[in-house]
Each structure stands twice: as structure tokens, then as C-alpha cells.
């Protein structure tokens, strides 16, 4: 039967037998009983039935409050301006916090702070095989920073190891497509650029959250065992370049001169062509005019032409043979010798003006013309 029914001996299960049976249980009494049990468990002295401690009790409520305050303060953290915080709640990604003061429940959330602006350096070295089956020692330096905090913390198991392996793979691929001379001297900048591009593709594929800033091929040289032979090859290439530059300088010096001479010869030829053509046209015009005069007075024109021809011939020869009419002998006049003798005695003779010489020459010509005309008439009479 129930405790509050007749015959139930009025036994209150809450320990309140003397209280009003119609009221609810006493909460204060219930707390006192719980405190007694806790005191018994933790070595405290039991309380009397009125709830008074027999020897003092431990302040557990204060402990609980203190623990709550410590727990609350423990959850506060500061994220710097150059950092991001990845929050995991019960091991699962929850959020990414930016700079500022934040709170997350401790022991429930796990916060990982990463520096997003720090530029870090990765260096790799090794011997690699080139396209022309040569071995080259390469030193590569990679500067990088974290671009995606979530991917850097969660996507990859070890992003730094992934970066090392991806750098080595990308570098070997690019070096393997270049010749030894290209890696060492000619295409070093291109090797760095191609390696950076391929390395970033690998890191994006692996979702490492890493962004490449600069890739520098700091050193590339032949192995030490063949360094002397390679130095000879390098010196030979330098000599080749030097000789090519000297040849180009000589060509730059000679070719303009040759072009100038060729242009001068072309211009001289054009001038000669113009002179010959104009001279021919003048001769043709003179012949046309002479034909007109010949048609008007044939005898006079023939005589004039004869005298002009004789004058041209006599002026270009140094020896004259004179045939005397009616005789068997021929007179020889060495004009060159006479000119030399007259030149030798010219200093002793008085100077004659050019006008006097022209007058004497004209008289001689007129006399010759008269004699020629008389001889022709006598022939015609006979």
C-alpha cells in the first residue's frame, strides 16, 4: 500500500514523516541528503538529521564554480593578423578563424594556428640526367607560403614532405627535357620558370594549401669528375662566340665600304651611259646638220670635212710623211723631236702670244687650201 494511505504508517520516502502529507517534497532536505552522501564518499563528516554538519563540510559548490570559470577562460585564444586558425570539433572540421579574439570550448574543439604570410624556403640538390644523356649537379631553392590553412592542416598528411617530393619530381622532369648546356648556361631562367609551373600544378593536385612564390636555380654544373673536360668545352664555346663577334664586327666594317663602292660604280656607269647616249645623240644631230649643208654645197663641205679630218689626224701623231708632187722622195718630219728641241730652246726665245700663233696657223691653213685647190684644177685641166 502507499505510504500516505491508511495503514501505511505514514512513512515519507523523502524523510519528511512529520511534514504535511499533502505538500510536495522538500528540496532543501533533498540537497542536504545529497551533501551527506558526498561527504561520506569524500571523507567528510556526516550531518545531523537537521542538516547541520557535525564537523564541517567541503565547499563543493565553490569548486564547481571555479572549475567553470577556469574552463570558460581556457577557451579564449587570440589569432594574430598574419595567422588563421583551423577549428576541429570532436575531430571534424568546423570553421577557420581569422585574426581577432575567439572562444571555443576546450576539450571539445581543437584549434590549430598557422602563419599565412611567412615566406619559407625549401632547398633540394641532386645529380640528374639531361636530355643528351649527361649528368648535372643541380641546386634548387623554393620560396613558398601557406595559401589555404584548411588544406594545409587537413588535406595532406605531411605537406612539407609532399613539397619536397613534388619539387624533386618537377625538377627532374624539367632537367630531363633540357640539354646539359641549356641547364648550365643558356636556359637556366626557363628551367626555373618551368619547374615553378609544374611544381604548383603538383601541389594543387595534392591539395597541400601551399603557394609557390619563387623558384631559383642557384647552381648547375657538371659533376666534379668531368669538370676539367667541361671547362675546356666552355672555353671552346667562349672562343667560338668571341670569333663570331670579331667576324661580325669585321663584316660590319667591310660590308658598308663594299656597298659604297658598288653604289659608286653603279653611279659612274649611269653617268657613262648618260654621257655616251648624249654624245651619240649630239653626233647624230651634227651629222644631220652636216648632211643639210652638204646637200647645199657639196664641194665646200667635202673640202671642209677633209681639212678637219687631216687636222684631227695630224694633231694625234708625232711623225708626218710628206709626199712631194713630181718627185720620188718622201719627206719625213719628226714632230716629236722638233717639239722637244723647240721646248729646249723656248727658254732662250722670246715668248709669243697665243693670238700670233693662231694667226700664223690660219695663214698656213689657207695657203695649204690654195695649193690643194690649184693642184686639183690642174688635174682636171689635164
**Alpha-carbon distance 56 to 33, whole Å?**
15
pLDDT tens digits for range 315-333: 766 666 665 565 555 555 5
Predicted local confidence at residue 180, as pLDDT = 82
- Kindly list the distances between the CA atom of residue 325 and the CA atoms of 237, 313, 369, 374, 379, in Å, as whole numbers in the listed order: 91, 21, 15, 13, 12
CA distance 221 to 285: 84
Residue, of 99 and 252, whose pLDDT is higher: 252
Bridge partners for 77 per DSSP: 102
% of the chain beyond a pLDDT of 90: 20
Lowest mean pLDDT among 59-73, 81-95, 186-200, 290-304: 59-73
Please tell me the distance from the alpha carbon of residue 304 to that of residue 129, in angstroms, as a whole number.
99
Which has the minimum average pLDDT: 23-32, 48-57, 250-259? 48-57
**pLDDT, mean over the chain:** 77
Question: What is the sign of the dihedral through the CA atoms of 323, 324, 328 and 333?
Answer: negative
Q: What is the pLDDT of residues 266-279, one digit of tens each?
A: 999 999 999 999 99
Region 201-226 average pLDDT: 88
DSSP 235: H
If residue 142 lies in a helix (H) or strand (E), which one and from where to where? strand 135-146
Rounded CA separation 134/225 (Å)? 13
Above 60 in pLDDT, residue 43?
no
Question: How far apart (Å, rounded) are the C-alpha atoms in residues 195 and 67?
Answer: 55
Residue 34, all three cell numbers: 545529497
Window from 122-126, 156-160, 343-347 with minimum mean pLDDT = 343-347
Helix, strand, coil percent values for the chain (each to nearest 5): 55, 20, 25
CA distance 155 to 146: 13
The pLDDT-based confidence of 311 (bands split at 50, 70, 90) is confident
**Around Cβ 14, how many Cβ atoms within 10 Å?**
14
Q: What is the pLDDT of residues 105-128, one digit of tens each?
A: 888 888 888 888 889 999 988 888
Residues contacting residue 210 through CB under 8 Å, at least 6 positions apart: 144, 145, 146, 147, 152, 159, 163, 203
The Cα 38–Cα 59 span in angstroms is 11
Angle, vertex CA 288, rays to CA 284 and CA 290, nearest 5: 115
pTM: 0.47
- Taking alpha carbons only, the member of 120, 127, 124, 179 closest to residue 147 is 120
CA distance 324 to 328: 8
Amino acid at each position: 500500500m502507499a505510504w500516505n494511505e491508511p495503514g501505511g504508517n505514514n512513512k515519507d520516502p523523502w524523510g519528511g514523516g512529520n511534514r504535511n502529507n499533502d505538500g510536495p517534497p522538500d528540496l532543501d532536505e533533498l540537497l542536504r541528503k545529497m551533501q551527506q552522501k558526498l561527504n561520506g564518499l569524500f571523507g567528510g563528516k556526516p550531518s545531523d538529521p537537521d542538516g547541520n554538519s557535525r564537523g564541517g563540510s567541503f565547499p563543493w559548490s565553490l569548486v564547481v564554480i571555479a572549475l567553470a570559470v577556469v574552463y570558460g577562460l581556457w577557451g579564449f585564444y587570440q589569432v594574430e593578423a598574419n595567422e588563421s586558425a583551423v577549428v576541429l570539433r570532436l575531430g571534424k572540421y568546423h570553421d577557420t578563424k581569422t585574426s581577432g579574439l575567439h572562444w571555443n570550448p576546450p576539450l571539445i574543439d581543437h584549434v590549430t594556428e598557422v602563419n599565412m604570410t611567412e615566406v619559407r624556403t625549401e632547398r633540394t640538390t641532386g645529380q640528374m640526367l639531361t636530355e643528351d644523356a649527361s649528368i648535372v649537379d643541380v641546386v634548387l631553392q623554393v620560396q613558398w607560403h601557406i595559401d589555404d590553412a584548411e588544406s594545409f592542416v587537413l588535406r595532406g598528411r605531411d605537406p612539407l614532405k609532399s613539397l619536397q617530393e613534388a619539387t624533386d619530381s618537377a625538377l627532374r622532369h624539367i632537367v630531363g627535357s633540357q640539354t646539359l648546356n641549356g641547364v648550365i648556361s643558356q636556359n637556366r631562367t626557363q628551367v626555373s620558370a618551368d619547374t615553378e609551373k609544374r611544381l604548383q600544378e603538383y601541389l594543387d593536385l595534392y591539395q597541400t594549401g601551399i603557394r609557390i612564390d619563387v623558384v631559383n636555380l642557384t647552381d648547375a654544373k657538371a659533376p666534379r669528375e668531368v669538370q676539367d673536360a667541361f671547362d675546356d668545352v666552355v672555353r671552346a664555346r667562349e672562343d667560338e662566340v668571341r670569333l663570331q663577334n670579331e667576324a661580325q664586327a669585321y663584316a660590319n666594317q667591310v660590308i658598308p665600304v663594299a656597298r659604297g663602292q658598288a653604289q659608286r660604280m653603279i653611279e659612274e656607269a649611269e653617268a657613262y651611259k648618260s654621257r655616251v647616249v648624249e654624245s651619240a645623240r649630239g653626233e647624230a644631230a651634227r651629222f644631220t646638220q652636216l648632211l643639210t649643208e652638204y646637200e647645199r654645197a657639196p664641194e665646200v663641205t667635202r673640202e671642209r670635212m677633209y681639212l678637219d679630218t687631216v687636222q684631227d689626224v695630224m694633231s694625234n701623231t708625232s711623225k708626218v710623211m710628206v709626199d712631194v708632187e713630181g718627185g720620188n722622195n718622201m719627206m719625213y718630219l719628226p714632230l716629236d723631236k722638233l717639239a722637244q728641241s723647240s721646248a729646249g730652246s723656248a727658254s732662250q726665245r722670246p715668248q709669243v702670244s697665243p693670238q700670233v700663233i693662231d694667226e700664223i696657223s690660219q695663214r698656213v691653213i689657207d695657203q695649204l687650201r690654195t695649193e690643194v685647190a690649184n693642184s686639183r684644177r690642174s688635174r682636171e685641166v689635164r
